[in-house]
Amino acid sequence: MTAHATRHATQDHDRTGKTVDTETESTRPADGERMRRWRMVLGADSAESTGCTLTGQDAAMDGALNALYGGGGGKKPGGRGGGGRSAGLGASAPSVARWLGDIRTYFPSSVVQVMQRDAIDRLGLSALLLEPEMLEAVEADVHLVGTLLSLNKAMPETTKETARAVVRKVVDDLEKRLESRTRATLTGALDRSARISRPRHRDIDWDRTIRANLKNYLTIPGTDGGPDTGTVVPERLIGYGRASQSVKKDVILCIDQSGSMAASVVYASVFGAVLASMRTLATRLVVFDTAVVDLTDQLDDPVDVLFGTQLGGGTDINRALAYCQSKITRPADTVVVLISDLYEGGIRDEMLKRVAAMKASGVQFVTLLALSDEGAPAYDHEHAAALGALGAPAFACTPDLFPDIMAAAIEKRPLPIPDKETQP
């Protein structure tokens, strides 16, 4: 097996799930077991050097990995030759469906998802995902949803219902994971953002009240030779606003739907639906490539939002921001979140002028290079630096951090930007 397969498919474990590189003297296996593990990691080409022959489930697991990562060398699908690396799954949907079933049997879901992505990227299996029986066999995840969305326009009607079911499963799982924390974090931020000057005692924000009245600090001499004490006279009380059903903040999510942003589009659509369900927020969802599409009326169902996108194509950030700017009616109470890799195909200087104008009017402007768990994205460094100079730093954000980013923007306090060492 190749180094690529060892790294991506086995996740630094042998194919039985046991860690290869963390042995200690007390846990080190016997020579025979060690050779078996190396044979599983290195693949069929190592059979002679390891002196190990696989049988039973080990052989089946080796075959499933060999079909994806093995060398071709002129052999039929399923075998390895001595030539360059090539596919072994064949071209028929039935053989691929069987292979998908095999890997789900032998490997944990996290490894299955990696192998599926590798199969799509390395073997060109995208077309086979247009068949319902194939979709029923795959392990659904965010990356698969992105692939399905990119195939949306080519998808036959007989497949769309199955595709929507796959996307629905992923969206429902994401909502369960993200909704409660998002609601709790933003509800608190919205309540704190509505500060009042004559609060009831239970609504006083003591931290801000004390800081606002430090100039009124009085020293009180001690009695009977005791030490001096002090107190703050609170001339001005600051309190939390009482929760209300009126709209307090406007949020505009402006999402780049170029192909590289697939995972971000999925997460942003889920967050958009969550935000839209909060009555104290007025949420607008805008997606763009070289055209701009407003999907706000579909926010009650993120699956409809996702199938309303069209991944791929060019990018015109300036046009998208112009549309968003035209929808702002309360600048001081508006948060604009641009989710893009910043590869601008439109007018760069106009884009920057729009951002500067929005910020000058009081808009809180947030730039996310990615909204995903994928790590450092590729992005336009020059545009990111220019936005940072305008006070709109661009950075990648994981889904778990997004509620905190939004809460900070709502409260108009510094954004909790991830550690620069983890940023691109």
Q: What pLDDT, on a 0 to 100 scale, did the predictor assign at position 360?
A: 96
Cβ neighbours of residue 190 under 8 Å, at least 6 residues apart? 248, 249, 280, 281, 410
- Strands of 315-404 (E only): list them: 334-339, 364-371, 394-397
Distance CA 19, CA 11 (A): 9
In whole angstroms, give the CA distance from residue 265 to residue 308: 11
Q: Which residue has the tokens 């579909």?
A: 298
Give SS3 for 253.
strand
Q: Measuring CA to CA, which residue among 374, 372, 366 is closest to residue 417?
A: 366
d(CA 387, CA 329): 23
pLDDT of residue 414: 92
Distance (Å, rounded) from C-alpha 204 to C-alpha 421? 38
- Distance, CA of 33 to CA of 38 (rounded, Å): 9
The pLDDT value given to residue 373? 85
User: pLDDT (tens digit, 0 to 9) for every residue of the chain, 424 residues total?
Assistant: 333 343 344 334 444 444 444 444 444 456 778 777 777 777 776 666 677 877 788 888 888 888 787 754 333 333 333 334 444 565 555 567 677 777 878 888 888 878 887 877 777 667 667 777 778 778 888 888 888 887 777 777 888 888 889 899 999 999 999 998 898 888 878 876 655 556 666 667 777 778 777 887 787 777 777 787 778 777 777 666 554 456 789 999 999 998 778 889 999 999 999 999 988 899 999 999 889 999 999 998 999 999 888 777 778 999 999 999 999 999 999 999 999 999 987 788 999 999 999 999 999 999 999 999 877 788 999 999 999 999 998 999 999 999 999 999 998 999 998 865 445 4
Nearby residues of 373 by Cβ (< 8 Å), 6 or more positions away: 263, 398, 399
Q: How far is CA 330 from CA 124, 249, 391, in A?
A: 48, 9, 20
Side-chain-side CA neighbours of residue 135 (13 Å): 24
Strand partners, 239: 196, 204
Q: Long-range contacts: 71-79, Cβ < 8 Å, 24+?
A: 71/2, 71/45
203: number of Cβ within 10 Å: 16
- What's the CA gap between 376 and 379, in Å, rounded? 9
Longest dimension (CA), the chain: 100
Q: What is the pLDDT of residue 30?
A: 66
Kind and range of the H or E run holding 293: strand 292-294
Residue 233 CB neighbour total at 10 angstroms: 9
